[in-house]
Structure 1
Amino acid sequence: MTKISNFFILFPLLALGILYGSRSHVSPHLFIWLLLLIPLWLWLEYKGRKAAGLVYWAVLTGAITALGCLAAAPQAADWPKDPQKLTAVVKSVQTLSSDQRVLVTTIPQKLGLALHLPLDVPVSAGDYIEFKGTITTPPSAPNPGMFSYRDYLNQLGVWGLCYPVEFTIQKRVQRSVLARLREWCLQNINRDLDDPGLVSALVLGDRAGLSQERREIWRLLGINHLLAISGMHVGLAALFFALFLKRLPLRPLFRLLLTQVFLLAYILLAGNSASAWRAFAAFALGGLGNHRRLLLNPLHIWSLVGFTLLVAQPQLLFQKAFTLSFVASGGILLWMPVLRCQKGGAFWRYLINSMAVSVIAQLSLAPLLLHYFAEIAVLGPLATLVFLPFTAVILAGGFLAALGLGPWGVAQLLNAVIRCVTILENSLVPYALQWQPQYLSQGEILLWWAFFIYAGWRLRRPRLTVPKNTYRRLLYLFLLICLISGLPAFIRRPLEVTALNVGQGDCFFIRTPGGLNLLVDGGGDSPYWQARGRNVGRERVLPYLRRRGVAKLDAVILSHPHEDHLFGLLAVLEELEVAVVIDNGQAHPTPTYERYLDLISAKNIPHVAARRGERLVLERGISLEILHPGRLLAGTDSDANNNSLVFQLAYGRVKMLFTGDIELPVLYDLVAIQGEHLESKWLKVPHHGSRSSFYPEFYDAVDPAFAVIPAGEGNLFGHPHPEVTSLFNQKGIRWSTPGAGPVRFFVWWGFFSRFLSAAH
C-alpha cells in the first residue's frame, strides 16, 4: 500500500475543506467523485500500478475536503423569522456602554448565541436563562477596515444574535471552583501591584485592566502576540513547574503526568484559548514520545494536533488566535532545522536563534497579517527579542503574585520590571513602522509566501552533501518570481472600481494598475444625523482607505454638493493629502459646502470645475472623459442633481459610466448628444435607482453588463425602485447594491473584467 510519508498535509487540507464548506453549500459531486475514485485506487494498489500513488492523493484530498465541508456545514444557520422561545446556559457576560452582551449556549441544541440585555439585569456565567426573541445573523463590517460584529462573534463560536423581548434568569446556586480560583488570583494581582493590567493579561489572559494606550503601543511594535496565552506561556509554565518537580524524588512518568495536569489546570484558568490548547497537546505528545524514546516528527505532531482540534471544533478556523498561532508555529517548525545556529557562544546562539524564530514567524504570518490588519509591524521581530526576557520575568513573577506571594518581594520586583517595560515602550514606539503593500497585489504576496514555504520544505530535508540541485532550483524559482514582480504594473494589476457601503449615498474608490488613487463622492449623513454625531466619512470611508494603505488621493471628484455625496468627503479632506479636487463648480448654500470650500482653500488644494469634452489621462491606456455638464442648468426640478458630473472612465475597450444623481432632462440630452458613445460595460445607476431617473432608452444606449445601485438597505425612499430592477432583470444586467458590503469591478489589460458583489 502507498506509504503515508506526508501526514502533515491532512491538517491544511481539512482547513481548506472547512473554509470551502463555510462559504458554499456542500456539493454532492464531490462525494460522487470519491465513490468512483476509492474503488479505482484500491484496484490500482492491488495491481501494483504506479498510478496508485497519484490516485491515493486525489482520494485523500477529496476525503479530507469533504470532511471539512461536512464539519463546517452546521455553522451556516438559516434562522427562523418568527420569535423563538429557548433555554440556554450563560457562558460569559461583558458590560458594554448601553447594554450587556451575554454569550449563551442553547439547551439542547447547543447553538452559540449572543443576547443583549439591559445593564441593570443581574446575570453571570453559569446562570440559566429562558428567553423569547427573534434570532438574526450578526451584522458584518460595512466595508473592509471596519469592525465586523459577525467575525468577532464567530471567533467566539457564536453564530446568532438576539435582543430578547422576554427573559427569565435562574441564578446558579454555587460558582465553580475554577471561577473562584481565577477571581482569587486576579484579586491577589490587583492588590499587590501598582500596574496589574499587564500581569493579568500575560498570566491569566485577562486584558480588561490593560490600558488602551499600552494595547496600541504593543500593536505598533508588533508584539501583541506576547499578550495571547499561547505556546510561549505554556512552555514557560511547564519549565517553571518542571524545575520545581526536579527536586522531588519522582519517577519520570509520574513527573510527566503531574506536569500535564498542571498545564491543563493553567489553560483552564487562563481562559481556555485555542492557541493554549495547541501548545498543551503538542507538549503532551512530545513529552510522551520523549518518555517512550520515540523519534516524532514535529511537523506531524503539529498537523495531528491541528487536525484533531478542527474535527472537534471547526469554528476554531475562524478565530484569529487559532490561525495565527498555528501558521506561526508551523513556519517555525518548518524552517528551524535549516536556520538553527549551533556555532559560537551560548549567548550569541540564543540571540541569533531567537531572532531567526521571530523573523520566520513574521514571514510565515505575512498573508494573514495583511488579511486581518492590512499592515505588518516592521519592528516586530526585534521588539519581540527585546521584550521577551521581560515577558518571561513578568510571567514567572506573575504566577507567584497570583498565588498570593506578592508581599514577599515579588510585587516589588514586578513593579520594577513593568517600569522598565514602560521605558522601553516609550523609547521604541517612535521608531515603529507599519508596512502596507501598496505596490504588491494579493496574488504576488501569496506567490512569495508559497516560495517561502516551498524553500523551507526543500531545505529542511536531511542530506549527506550540499544540495546543489535544490539550491539551483530555488534560485531559478526566485528569479522567476522576481521577473513576475518586476513586470509593468498594467500587466500585474487590474484597474479597480469599488462601490463602498456608506448607507444611502454614493462613494466610489478607484485604483489604477500604476497605483493612482481616486475617490468619487464620499457618502454622507442628513443634517439630523450629523447633529447626533454620525459621520460616515470617519466611520466608513477613512477606515477603508487606511486599510487599503491610502495616504494620498490623487484626485477627489464630487459629482454634486448634496449631503449624501459631499458630507463624507470633509473627513477625507481633513485627514488625507489630496492632489486635486474636481467638481461641477456649482455653489450650494449649506454649512457642509462652505466647510468643503474652506478645507480646499486652507490646504491649498487645486480646485477644478470640469466641463463636457474635457479629458484627463490617468496613465497608460486609462482616461477619464467628462460628458456633462456643458454648462450649468437652471430651472429644472433639481438643478443640483441635474448638474451632476457625468464622466466615463475608459481602460482599453472597457468603459465605466458614472452618472451622479441626474434625472430625466439630462438623460434625454445625454442620449441625444452622446448616443452610442454612452455604451459602457459598467454603470453607476443614476440617482440611487429612483424612478425619477428611469428612462429605458438611456439603458438601451449604455447597454451595460453590470450595474451598481448605491442605495442603503431599508432606506426611506424605497430605492432602488422596482421599475429599474425589473428592467435590469429583463435585460440580463447583473446588478447589485453595496448595502451588504462593497461591490467591486476589476479590469485586466483593458479587455477582461470581473464583477464581484458582497455575496462573492
Structure 2
Amino acid sequence: MDSSTTYQFPFASLPALRIVLLMIAGIIAAYFWGDSLTLWQTLGVFTTACFMWIGAELLLSRKLTVWRSTVCTLFYLVMVVLFGAGMYQVSQERLHQTITKSDPLTLYEWETVQVSAKIKSGGRSQSGRDVYEASVSKTVLPEGALWYESYKIRLYGSDEDTTKLTPGTMVVADVRLYAFPEVRNPHDFDYGGWLHGRGITSHGEIEAIHSISENRRIGWEGIRSYVQGNIDRMFDAERAPLAKALMIGYKEELTNEERLSFSRSGLSHIMAVSGMHVGFIIAPFWLLIPWFWRWKWGKLCGLIAMTLLLIGYAGLTGFSASVCRASIMAWLLTYGKLYHKLRHSVNLLAVAAIILLIIQPSQLFDVGFQLSFSAVMIILLIMPEAQKLIPLKIRYTWKGGLLSVIWISVIVQLGLLPILALYFGEFSFAGPAANAAVVPLLSIAVPVGLAGSFLYGVLPGISEWMIVPVQWVLQWIGSVAFFFGDELTGYVSIENPSIWLFMIWITGILGCAGIKYPSVRWKMLILLLLSINLFLIEKIKVKTSTPELIVTVLDVGQGDAVHIQTPGGRHYFVDAGRWNPMGNSGERVLIPFLEHYGIRKLDGVILSHPHADHIGGLPSLMRHFPIDAIYHSDYPYDSRLYETYNRLADELEIPIVDVLSGDMIELDPLTRIFVLGPEKDVPPDRNPNNHSLSFRLQYGETSFLFTGDAEVNQERQLAERYGDFLDVNWLKTGHHGSRTSSTPIFIEQVRPEIAVTSVAFHNRFSHPNRDAVLNVKQAGAKKYFTSLSGALIFSSDGEQIRKKEIKQKVSAVLK
C-alpha cells in the first residue's frame, strides 16, 4: 500500500484533543475508583510522576534518545490522567463539604425556619408556582437559635407576595423546609442530584415574607430578570414560555406536554441554547470582520467587541455548558479569523472541553455536556464528507443550504442515537423534517427577538413592531413540534441500549469520518462488523435465556400500585394508587412509569377493592392507555371515584370482569393467577377491606401472594380454607402493615421468604404497626418497605426470586 493510502492520526496537530482524552480517562477513573484512592494519594502520585518526568528530561537528555522520548512521553501521559482524576476528586470534595455543612437542616424537615437570603434567580415551575434560587446568609431555627452558615436554597412561592421577589432582592421570610428529594421510582428524574449539581442543599415553601429590600447592584440576575420581564410583556401568555426557552434557554415555564412534543419531534435541541444560537447571535459580527482588517486597531477592537458579546450572551443564559462551549469555540475561531491563524476545528472543540472540565470536571457526566460536545464532534467529523453528496451545482445555493440543514439534522439525530436511548429511552426519526421546517426561521427569530427584548424598555413601539414576525415563527414552531411529536408519532422507544450499540456508534462515526483513507475505512469496517455481530449475539442470548417475571412495587405513598410484566411480555397493574384533590398516582407515577419503559397498552388491571388509595389513578390510566380488561370483586361501593371508572369502562368499551374465590386468570401461557378471595357464598363484610380480591401468582416454582387490604376476618378465612396453599415465596403484606393485618394465624400459613409493604413514611395511621412487622419477621421473611426504599423491583426465572436494583436513565453515562 503506497503512502497515499496509508493514514496516521495527526495527534501532533491536535494536542488539545490528546490532552482532553487523557483528562477524560482520569475523570472516569476517579469516578469509578475514587473511593479507593484519596485526593492526597492522587496528588502524591501526580507529584512523583512530575518529578520523574523532569528527571527523565534532564538525566536522559544526552543519550538513550529513544528511551528518553518513550519514558518522558509515558510520564507526561500519566501526569495528564492524574490531573483529570485530581480535578474531579477536588470538585467532589467541595460538593461533599457543601452538602455536609447543611446537614443540620435535615433535622428540621417539615418545620418552619426564618431565612435571610438574596434572590439569585426566579421563574415559574411547570405547575405554575413561583420558583426562586437564593443564597442564605442567616437562619433562625424553630427554637430561636441563630445559624450563620451560608447555603443555597430553592424556594417555592405560596401566595401573591412572592411575585415581588426579583433577582438581587434581599428577603427575610418564613420557609417550611421540605425533605430533600430522593429517587423513589424507576422513572423518576433525580431531582435531588440536580439540586446538588447546582450547589443547592435545601428547598422549601415560602409561608410569610417579613421584609424585602432592593439590591441596586447590577448583576447577571438583574439583566436576566429584565429580559424575561420584557418577553412576558411583548409576547402573549401562550408564546412567552417558548420565547424564553428559544432565546435564553429558560425552560422552566414549559409544560410537560410541550417538552415531550419537542423531544419526540427531534426539536428539543433548539430550546437548549447552544452553538446554533451563538452562531445566530454572532453571524452579523462575522460579516464585519473584513472591515476590522482595514485599520490599525481593528483586530483588537473586533476581538474585544466579540468577547463582550459572547460573555454577555453566556451570562444572559446563565453560563450553561453548551453556551460556554460554543462561546469559547466562537472566540477561538474569531481570533483565528481576525489574525489569520485558523486551526483545526476539532482541536478548538477540545480546547473548549478542557476549559470547561477544569472549571467543573463533573460536567463530563452531565447529559447536556455529552449531547452538546458529541453533536458538534459528529458534525465536524462527518459533515465534510456528507456535504460532498449534495450536487455541486446547488451546493452553494439556497437549495444547498436547506439540504445542508437536513443533512446536519440527519447526521446529529443518528449520531446521538445511543445517548438519546440511554438517557431518554426515545429516538425521533421525524427530526430531520422538523428541523428543516424550523431551523432556517430561527436564524432570524432568535437575534431579532433578543434585540427586541433588550430595546423594549427604551423603545417599546419599535420592539413591538420587531417581534411581530417572531410571534408568527413561534406559532409555527409550536405547530411543527405538535404535528411531528404528537399527531405523527415520529419517534420510537428504545430501552436499555447495549454497550455494543455504543461500539457500533463509535466505529460508524470514525469510519464515515475517515472514509477517504482506505486503511482507516477497512479497519473501521472490520470493527463495525465485529461490533454488530457481538450486538446480535447478545440479543440472541437474551432471547434464548429463561424469560423472567418482573414485579415492581411502585412508591405511591399511602396506597398500592404494583406492575407485573409476565415472561411473555404482557403488562398488568395490581391496583392503581391514590387520589387526592391535588392529583393522583396515575398522572404522577403510573403513566410516567409506563412511558419510561415504552409500554403502549395494558393487558389488564386487577383491583383489590374500591378504596381511593387503590383505585385513585385508574381513571387517568384509562384515559391514557388501552386496557384489555379490568378485574375486580363484585363488592358494590358508593363513591364518585368508583362510579367514574365504571362509567369510563362503558364509554371506552373496557370489559369489567367480576372474579371470586376459585377463579383463575391466565396472564400468559407461563403465568397464572389463582383467585383466593373474596368468597362466593359468604355475606359481604361491611368493611370493603375484608372483601379484597386476594390471589396467588404462580410462575414456575415461584409464587407471589397479594391480599389487598385484607384484615383479620378475611385473613382468617383464607388461612382456614387454603392452609398450605398460602405458603409462598413472596408476600405483599395487607393493609399497608396495619395492626389489623399480617395476623399470626395467617402469617404462619404463608411463611414468606420476602415480604413487601407499600406505605408512606409520614402517614396519619402510624403504619406500619410494630406487632404486624414482628409477626412477619418471626416467620423468617426479609422485609422491605416502600417508605424506606422507594420502589422495589423483583424478578423470577421460575426457580428463584431476586431483588433488582433500580437503574436510572437520567444519570451518569458510565454508572
TM range (shorter): 0.7 to 0.9
Q: Distance in 2 between matches of 1:257 and 1:461?
A: 37
> Hey, what does 2:709 align to over in structure 1?
661
2:306 to 249, 259, 265: 259
Hey, what's the Cα distance between the residues in 1 that align with 2:43 and 2:476?
64
1:493 Cα deviation after fit: 7.0
Report Cα offsets for 1:491-531 as digits up to 9, x if no partner: 39743222223222111112234431101111233xxx4xx
What SS class does the counterpart of residue 578 from structure 1 fall into?
coil
Report Cα offsets for 1:705-750 as digits up to 9, x if no partner. 4332111221111111122334556646141215764222233575
The alignment partner of 1:599 has SS state of helix
Indicate how the Cα distance of structure 1 residues 722 and 44 shifts in structure 2: closer, same or farther if over 3 A, else same. farther
Contact 1:93 1:102 in 2 (8 A): yes
Letter aligned with residue 244 of structure 1: L
Q: Counterpart of 2:617 in 1: which secondary structure? A: helix
Deviation at 1:697, TM superposition (A): 5.6
Per-residue displacement from partner, 1:285-342 (whole Å, max 9, x unpaired)?
4445667777866555445534543553467578765454344334444544664536
Deviations 1:125-163 (A, max 9, x none): 223335565654443576566787646655654331134
Partner of 2:635: 586
The answer as to 2:135 corresponding to 1:105 is yes
Over the aligned positions, Cα root-mean-square deviation in angstroms equals 4.7
SS of alignment partner, residue 644 of structure 2: helix
Matched residue, 1:115: 155
Change (3 A) 1:450 1:300: farther
Confirm or deny: 8 A CA contact 1:490 1:514 kept in the other structure: no
Q: 1:453-492 to 2 correspondence within 5 Å?
A: 453-457=506-510, 459-461=512-514, 464-465=517-518, 467-485=521-539, 489=543, 491=545
The two structures have a TM-score, normalised by structure 2, of 0.77
Q: What aligned pairs does 1:172-321 form with structure 2 within 5 A after superposition?
A: 172=214, 174-176=216-218, 197=240, 201-205=245-249, 218=262, 221-248=265-292, 249-250=294-295, 251-288=298-335, 298-299=345-346, 301-313=348-360, 321=368
Q: Distance in 2 between matches of 1:663 and 1:407?
A: 69
Q: Which amino acid counterpart does residue 152 of structure 2 have in structure 1?
A: G
**Tell me, what secondary structure is at the counterpart of 1:27?**
helix
Question: In the TM superposition, what are the counterparts of 1:473-552 in structure 2 within 5 Å?
Answer: 473-485=527-539, 489=543, 491=545, 494-525=548-579, 529=580, 532=581, 534-552=583-601
From the superposition, tell whether residues 450 and 644 of structure 1 become closer, same or farther in structure 2 (CA, over 3 Å): farther
**Is 684-693 or 662-671 further displaced after alignment?**
662-671
Which deviates more from structure 2 when the two are superposed, residues 33-42 or residues 739-748?
Answer: 33-42
Cα distance change on mapping 1:606 and 1:180 into 2, 3 Å? closer
Q: Deviations over 1:72-119 (max 9, x none)?
A: 434644343257665432212346789743321234855221234543
Residue-by-residue CA offset, 1:450-479 (whole Å, 9 max, x unaligned): 421343245545874253232133123213
- Distance (Å, rounded) in 2 between the aligned partners of 1:583 and 1:726: 31
Q: Distance in 1 between matches of 2:83 and 2:473?
A: 53
| Aligned-residue offset at 1:673 | 4.8
Contact 1:613 1:627 survives alignment (8 Å):
yes
Cα deviation, residue 643, structure 1: 3.0
Q: Structure 2: which amino acid aligns with 1:390?
A: L
1:128 aligns with 2:170: yes
Using the alignment, how far apart are the partners of 1:519 and 1:412 within structure 2? 55
Listed as ranges, the matches of 1:283-432 within 5 Å are 283-288=330-335, 298-299=345-346, 301-313=348-360, 321-333=368-380, 335-336=382-383, 339-341=386-388, 344-345=391-392, 346=395, 347=397, 350-366=401-417, 369=420, 374-398=425-449, 400-402=451-453, 404=455, 415-416=468-469, 418-419=471-472, 422=475, 426=479, 429-432=482-485
- AA aligned opposite 1:91: K
Give the aligned partner of residue 712 of structure 1. Answer: 760
Q: Secondary structure at the match of 1:691?
A: coil
> Percent sequence identity over matched residues?
24
Bigger drift between 92-101 and 693-702 goes to 92-101
8 Å contact from structure 2 (residues 87, 361) kept in 1: no
Q: Which runs of 5+ in 2 are unaligned?
A: 1-10, 57-66, 138-147, 809-814
Quick one: distance in 1 between partners of 2:73 and 2:552? 47
Matched, 1:159 2:213: no
Contact 2:172 2:210 in 1 (8 A): yes
State which drifts further: 569-578 or 501-510: 569-578
Quick one: distance in 2 between partners of 1:479 and 1:236? 43
Q: Which residue of 2 aligns with 1:643?
A: 691
In structure 1, what is the equivalent of residue 60 of structure 2? none
Q: Deviations over 1:243-263 (max 9, x none)?
A: 134324345455334322221
Q: Compared with structure 1, are the counterparts of its residues 14 and 163 closer, same or farther at alpha carbon in structure 2 (3 Å cutoff)? A: farther
Give structure 1 stretches of 5+ with no counterpart.
Answer: none
Instruction: Return the letter of the residue paired with 2:356.
Output: L
Which residue number in structure 1 is paired with residue 143 of structure 2?
none
Distance 1:461 1:239 in 2: 30
TM-score with structure 1 length normalisation?
Answer: 0.82
| Structure 2 CA distance for partners of 1:404 and 1:660, relative to 1, 3 Å | closer
Structure 2: how far apart are the matches of 1:165 and 1:428?
38
Deviation (angstroms), 1:688: 0.9
Counterpart for residue 734 of structure 2: 686
What code does the residue aligned with 1:357 have? I
- Residue deviations 1:357-386, cap 9 Å, x none? 223333444455456655444322221122
- Distance change in 2, residues 1:493/1:607 (3 Å): same
The code of the aligned residue for 1:231 comes to G
SS at 2:773's partner residue?
helix
Match runs of 1:542-581 below 5 Å = 542-581=591-630
Q: 2:773 aligns with which of 725, 735, 743?
A: 725
Counterpart amino acid of 2:439? L
Take 2:726 and 2:736, find their aligned partners in 1: how far apart are those partners?
19
Partner residue of 1:89?
118
What's the counterpart of residue 3 of structure 2?
Answer: none
Q: Per the alignment, do residues 43 and 98 of structure 1 end up closer, same or farther by CA in structure 2, a change over 3 Å counting?
A: closer
**Is 1:7 aligned to residue 55 of structure 2?**
no
The answer as to whether partners of 1:10 and 1:303 remain within 8 angstroms in 2 is no
